[in-house]
Structure 1
Amino acid sequence: MDEEEAKLLSAMERCDPETLALYTYEMRKALIESALSNGVMPSIPMWHSIGDLLILMNVHPPRGTDKSEVTMQSVVKMNYRRTEHLNFIEDVENGRHKIVRYPDGKMSVLMLKYLEPIHDMFRVYGLASSGTVVNEADLFKFKDIDELVIKEVDLNLGVDMADFFDSLWPYIVTLRYGFSLYFRTSLQYRYAPAKVDIPVIMGLSYSLKPGQTFIIPKQNVARHYAKYNAYAAGRTLDQFLVDYSNSNERVPIMVSVGDRIIADRLTLLYFAIHLHGQYIEANRRNGGSDSISEMKKKAADVFEAKVRSELRKHGYAGPDSAVKVKYDYDVIGISESKKRIILADAKFRDISPSSICADTIIQQELLEPGQGVQYEAERHIQRVDFFKKNLGLFKQYLEPKANLATYELKSYLVTKHTPLVKQYKDVGVLSLEELIEQEFK
């Protein structure tokens, strides 16, 4: 690894600074354009590799004169291998991958069994490199729910930009997960935007012609920033540039080349979406409102209704909304032909980025008090037990044609993504797709 990095740094040093910076910047811009046009990033590994290279260029600025495309390609290729190695090391350290040696001396790499549910969640947010997509139906599976929750906001003069960004909340979540695929990359994209930063970036974005990449003198950026001094609360241009252009730790949004920066409208807008999400997250941690969480709660209600709709579609009757009889019952359905009752609790919840590690996934996703699968299943068991002991209280909701005690009773947690476990005691734990497959086909 050290030898390869030395070769990479040597090759970078020979490069003309502006040529390498612009070449790398345009590669990232092309990935953004493709992701926004097609919904899927052409190569997520390449995205993170470019981020690594942009940081490396700030730490070890090129000082050469070589402008050849062959040299630029060579640097990108060597850096890609470096990124692969860094990611693999983190996978092994965090237990996502394990290297095993067999008695015959051969070695193999095993993958954590719980990674598939995590990959399933990533696909829902479009986080799959286009070359690895096997079934496009796996991508954006809940787009219909998102569209019902999203409030359409036209980006016209006078529109509150916070409302506009809030309307993009599914993409904010996509970026949050995409940038946090590894702990080290989560740090690289963990900006701490001040209140003035997003307006400055958006204003700069709209001052640039679309489709073109510009190399802008920093004195021009200074004149632009001065327009926002009244709202800067003492934050200086130098502080702004350290965070978004000159950092040795975070991926530069605008790439610095001497006394100039490289920028374009689309890249600035793309990162402004991510910064808005980070601003909301910081506001939540400080006790403020969290519009993304509010959107997710609305989406959870729609998901619950979708589960009820699927039951009705497959011959089950029942109430059109949740029922409260001591406990909250999200979904109750009865099938006269199957002589079966289904009690389901709908959970429209994502796996936390911090859970994607062998040391934390079991504790956080399965055993965590107040939200883990075990906790939710135990709560559902209480609901089911109360239902069994008080059948008469539920007659008005199910309108059975026979004694309720004669029906088979099945209980489920219905999850947004492929669950980590399929059963807890008598409670089935299934995604909505799995429930349809198991119960209705």
Structure 2
Amino acid sequence: MDELGPLGANLSGQNGESRRVCELLDHPGWLFKEYQSPRGPADTDRLARLVNLPSAMTAAERDVVDRSTAWPSASVLNQLRRTIGVVIPKAPDEYFVRLHNLNGSGRRRPCEVDLLALPEAQMVVRGLPKLDTFDRAAVCSSMTEIAALLEKHEIVYLDWSYANAFWSGSSKTAYLIDLDGASFGPRQLIQSTGFEDPLFSYGSRAGGEVDRYRVALLTARCLTGRRQLPDLQLGLILIRRHIRDGDLAETLARTLLATEAHERATIADLHHKLELVTTANIRPIRVGPIPTNSTNPSPTGGLNGWKTINRPITPKPPVPPPRPSPATSIPAARRAGKPSAAQPKPAPPTRPVPPRPTPPTPPVPPTPPSAPPAAPPEEFGWPAAVFGLMLFAGFVALLVFGVVELFKFLF
């Protein structure tokens, strides 16, 4: 403890397994996380292994650890050689925010992913930046990059929640904390409210399969701003309609709805699908009016809601001016080396056409007297016509009947 130097104020209080989290005044940017009670030999060995693991990683993996995690850098032991805490880096300032409240801006606090798994309207009310689907995907890609690194080294985290990951609205990246509780291989499943796994009960032995489910659930919530599973499924459907997601929505749905743990997609696969969305620079597809030809077209092509993509545009080759006709002389200004407007080719002379004589106009016969206006049709004319037809049909039937009877009488 003496090597740590003086401690600053307690930043978190008694929270979970930690007794306090204090700044190291002689080491700016570093924190001391003290546990509620000393750890046993097994935890001491596990923490020592976590502290030393980055030295065996590649340079790219160490960059992820240093940039995006509060990875434990040292274990603090008591006189009995038992671990009483760890030294961890402090999250950069970009992962802190002042939220709006009824009295204006509140105190500065970590920008947890709890604030990302919200609809846009609720984020704006809190003073958070507006994020479209691709900004959200960028944050999720950063988060799954960390999770995929843990998965690669067979580290089980399990503690995925709304509070253990921060996000930055400026860099669209994530930052993971509480890594000192991670294990190498399966361990007893810890409770994480709102992230219950339907295939693993609390207290059972759990490994990477639970991490895959919880990472997929957190990613889907941050992507859509929706939290409940039925509403979340609708959000994934809407994602498919707005972006060419490279099967991202299907990968998330397959993991969340799997009935067997082995059917869940790996975190590396999920991260790859997010990378396809964020690095391909594919913007949302939104239905708008059909663009029409215009003398002054807009840079967005006339589509409502379309966002311009900075792509290299190959210039069209200039259209060469039409060659002058041999019969057309070059204007004097061009012969003198001065620019002049293109002169239209003169039209060939036309033969004069003599006017045709106008035939004499025949005399107009006198207009015959107009017929008197027809009487307006009587009201209800069609019923009268039907009635007349019925009378006529009855008369014909009576006539036929009489002829038949007469024929019987005579013969």
Structure 1 and Structure 2 fold alike (TM over 0.5): no
Q: TM-score range by the shorter chain?
A: under 0.3
The normalised TM-score by structure 1 is 0.27
Say which structure, 1 or 2, has more relative contact order (CA 8 Å, 6+ apart): 1
Bigger Rg, which one? 2
The normalised TM-score by structure 2 is 0.28
User: Which of the pair is proportionally richer in helix?
Assistant: 1
